[in-house]
A and B are shown apart, each in its own frame.
Chain A
Amino acid sequence: MAHAPKDNHAPLHLHIPEPKFRPGDVADFSDIIVPEVDANPRPDEHVAPANIHALAYGLVRVLGDDHQPSGSWNPNLDVDTLRVMLRKMLLLRAFDDRMFRAQRQGKTSFYMKSFGEEATSVATTMALHSDDMCFPSYRQQGILITRDYPLVDMMNQIYSNRGDRLKGRQLPIMYSAKEYGFFSISGNLTTQYPQAVGWAMASASRADTRISAVWCGDGSTAEGDFHSALTFAAVYNAPVIFQVVNNQWAISSFSGFAGSERTTFAARAIGYGIAGLRVDGNDALAVYAAMQWAANRARNNGGPTLIEYFTYRGEGHSTSDDPGAYRAAEEYALWPLGDPVTRLKEHLIAIGAWTDAQHESLIIELSVQVKAVQKEAEQNGILGHGLHHPFETMFEDVFEEMPWHLKEQCAQMLEEQKDKFGPEWEAR
């Protein structure tokens, strides 16, 4: 029942955010401000957070429209490093394409691409030490690819086959690779945020030298865990790097539902008194530079940094999603910050270290490589074709030792399987 107004105040109005463009519209991003390269120069890594608020609202950039690097944020990477970066990003893209197709072919149930955001997992990982601990969300397969994790193991997990290190227990793409400094991915958004802080606090309390880095999406910043994590990190000055991959979308909800109509994600840092940087997420050199800055800061006991990568989710949320149902077509083509792979390629060409022909042949080489790995992985089975870990492994690893009640439940399951399918079921 409406509450009758008692005075002559204007009625209140509830604001429900709405993205500017919907299917049928032609997106127009002319209101996105792209500041000049070095509009906010690189401060000393020991700077007090209070003195760099502008960086939380600006946009760190290195590559200009002419694809040449300039300014104080330029990480001055050598040509070999730049080529490795491009190769990793292209390999990630080739892997994503192949696995997306595998899902469409019915070989797995689910896949998530990182198209358009490759720099935020590849360039960042390159700026870390190989033993720094990464706490990813589900869109940072680029970390594993950059750290040379075997592609076949990634595919085995995607296929939930008998080679799957995680024994078919996780949704495809939810890897875990401790040896590679890659924390087990959770399906529950942002839970990795306080965990990364805990890991960093532990590292600091042991006088270790390793730091942790954690990723989440723009939408995920709304979870309470995000705020608990920033509070703890600020309180204990934890050597952790918070990263928000602002790809504008959280499934069908635009970033306005996480608060982007009011402020930037990087500016969340200001309230916590930690360093905040907003970065062009499609400029691989800027991404590298920001991560390097934050890593140096953390490693020198300068505390946490929150980095927002301003980027764009080039494709659907996942194989289960159809972005055509909620956003304007062609948005990605119109994105004012371009494509991270193309920009890095153009940069290498501009400095005379790369050619179109080399680029095309690298794409073919990587696609052949990925296809070969796929064949190898499929020897271990694809989803639903019966080549998986034995059923009883479903009950293992709940605890270090299996308690009696799980043993009993497992035995019951095996009995019922036998009754239903006969002894041959196992050989199926």
Chain B
Amino acid sequence: MAEPATKKMNMIEAINSALDVMLAKDPEVVIMGEDVGYFGGVFRATAGLQAKHGKTRVFDTPISECGIIGVGVGMAAYGLRPVPEIQFADYIYPGLDQLVSEAARLRYRSANDFTCPMTVRSPFGGGIFGGQTHSQSPESLFTHVCGIKTVIPATPYDAKGLLIAAIEDNDPVVFFEPKRIYNGPFTGYYDRPVEPWSKHAGSDVPEGHYRINLGEAAVVREGEAVTVLTYGTMVHVVKAVVADQGFDAEIIDLRTLLPLDIATIEASVKKTGRCMVVHEATRTSGFGAELAAQVQEPASII
């Protein structure tokens, strides 16, 4: 069988391609958000999609995150598969109630009567000099909530496969895109230029449909000395540090925070006997605390 056609893509192009593929494949997929329609999004993630798929499939919304997510829940209850964009994760809070009390609980509270197959995409994380309103990493607010899956890709290849899997998932997914690495993998060195994705692994992206299952982590570097659990932009920072310092770390890119791939983590920590967590979110009550607890809890690991 011929290899599927691949193309060099950066993160934005990969996300755009995932949305394009899903719009074409599934007539129930609908994209909406502030500036996502004609203009194609402030980060260009939806560029060209309205022209190609029509205004009822890809459209602009009022500046109301509560409305965007609440309307999404209603569309999902109708039978659509909405993929709303929240322009920045820092602005997801007005929609938080609709996510936490509604999207996440709908299946449970109605005992499967109604479901909410909605994927909320949002750029998150620091590193773009955006100040406190364009830099937050609120992922642990979402992993805390029963009924939401939280996904964070670290490469264009993963971004596309994970986003397709998220859209196809029958439960609500929060899909946080590390905006620092939209154009290339930031390595933590502000004094070095960021190389474009085309020079890196993970930027050969199949043009068609493929999935990376939610809940599966990736071992991005095998090693014996220590396990490093990380995700998003920090995957690349950790990789650079490990390369520069020359120690034999096993680096795990979690990719999905919830449900967590505990099997991969467990196997690695058992092998190395040491574990370290690197993320860019607030340390107190951050996702790292959950990871530390998970690694130490089962008797099988320690």
Q: Which A residues lie within 8 Å of B169 (CB)?
A: 400
Does residue A101 face the partner (Cβ distance < 8 Å to B)?
Answer: no
A232–B71 contact, CB under 8 A? yes
Given A176-B113, A399-B171, are A195 and B74 neighbors across the interface (CB < 8 Å)?
A: yes
Q: Which B residues lie within 8 Å of A199 (CB)?
A: 74-75, 77-78
Interface residues of A in 124-166 (CB under 8 A from B): 133, 135, 165-166
Q: Which A residues lie within 8 Å of B215 (CB)?
A: 403
Pick the contact of A397 from B94, B111, B149, B260 — CB < 8 Å? B111
User: Cα distance A399–B76 when bound, in Å?
Assistant: 15
B 146-186 binary contact with A (CB < 8 Å = 1; else 0)? 11010000000000000000000111000000000000000
Q: Which B residues lie within 8 Å of A203 (CB)?
A: 78
A353 to chain B: closest CB distance in Å?
A: 39
A183–B108 contact, CB under 8 A? no
Q: Which A residues lie within 8 Å of B110 (CB)?
A: 166, 176, 178, 184
Q: How many residues on B have C-beta within 8 angstroms of the other chain's C-beta atoms?
A: 47
Pick the contact of A194 from B70, B79, B113, B170 — CB < 8 Å? B70
A 193-208 binary contact with B (CB < 8 Å = 1; else 0)? 1111111111101100
B113–A184 contact, CB under 8 A? yes
Q: Which A residues lie within 8 Å of B69 (CB)?
A: 194
Interface residues of B in 31-89 (CB under 8 A from A): 56, 61-62, 64, 66-67, 69-80, 82
Does residue B102 face the partner (Cβ distance < 8 Å to A)?
Answer: yes
Closest residue on chain A to residue B55 by CB atoms: A205
Q: Which B residues lie within 8 Å of A166 (CB)?
A: 109-111
Q: Interface centre among A186, A197, A212, by most B CB within 10 Å?
A: A186
Interface residues of B in 10-50 (CB under 8 A from A): 30
User: Cα distance A206–B215 when bound, in Å?
Assistant: 33
B111–A165 contact, CB under 8 A? yes
Does residue B252 face the partner (Cβ distance < 8 Å to A)?
Answer: no
A197–B113 contact, CB under 8 A? no
User: Cα distance A400–B117 when bound, in Å?
Assistant: 10
Pick the contact of B71 from A188, A201, A206 — CB < 8 Å? A201
Given A191-B97, A195-B73, A197-B71, are A399 and B107 neighbors across the interface (CB < 8 Å)?
A: yes
Q: Which of A86-94, A223-231, A371-379 contacts B (4 or more CB under 8 A)?
A: A223-231
Q: Which A residues lie within 8 Å of B107 (CB)?
A: 397-400
Given known contacts A169-B109, A186-B102, what 19 new A-B pairs fall within 8 Å (CB)? A170-B109, A176-B109, A178-B110, A184-B110, A194-B73, A195-B73, A197-B67, A197-B70, A197-B71, A198-B70, A199-B74, A200-B74, A201-B74, A224-B94, A231-B62, A398-B146, A400-B107, A400-B170, A404-B259
The 4 A-B pairs at the shortest CB distance, nearest first, are namely: A198-B74, A194-B70, A228-B67, A198-B71
Q: List 5 A-B contacts (CB under 8 A).
A: A174-B109, A197-B71, A199-B78, A202-B80, A400-B169
Q: Which residues of B approach A to under 8 Å, CB–CB?
A: 30, 56, 61-62, 64, 66-67, 69-80, 82, 94, 97-98, 101-102, 105-115, 146-147, 149, 169-171, 215, 258-260, 262
